[in-house]
Amino acid sequence: MRDKVKRHILQRGSGWVTHEEPLKAAEILRQLPPDQICLLDCATMWLTNHLLADSDLAAAQAELLQAIESCAGELVVVSNETGLGIVPDNALARRFREAQGRLNIDLAAQADTVVQVTAGLPLVLKGSL
């Protein structure tokens, strides 16, 4: 993960401010000024961190969604679709898959625009680009 983060920082260039916040993304979003654009990359990793920390997922998700709703800046959220494959054979993976699906549904409901990107091709599911 450290290598992946370093690679992303290099790709984005010096004009980006990076906050590494594995669990408390809502706190960062609450502090975002109105004139800033924020890329939350990614909701899937945030959820994974909470799942592995044995957090109360419903409470963490509610806090994140409230922070997104009240975020003063412009926000772009990256998330992964995990429900298109086979049903996992272990309980943790099934719990994660279900939680990710619920999170994606709630994120999409709040969003003005939802774009699914597959093989580098965007498909607008809601709103417009």
Question: What is the spatial distance between Cα 15 and Cα 79, in angstroms, rounded to a whole number?
Answer: 23
* Single-letter amino acid code for the residue at 104: N
Q: Cα dist. 16→12, 25, 36, 40, 80 in Å?
A: 7, 17, 11, 12, 22
**Residue 115's closest CA among 99, 128, 97?**
128
Selected catalytic residue, list 6, 7, 8, 95? 8
The DSSP code for 26 is H
Q: Are strands 37-41 and 74-78 parallel, antiparallel or unpaired?
A: parallel
Active site residue 19: no
Q: Please identify every residue annotated as catalytic.
A: 8
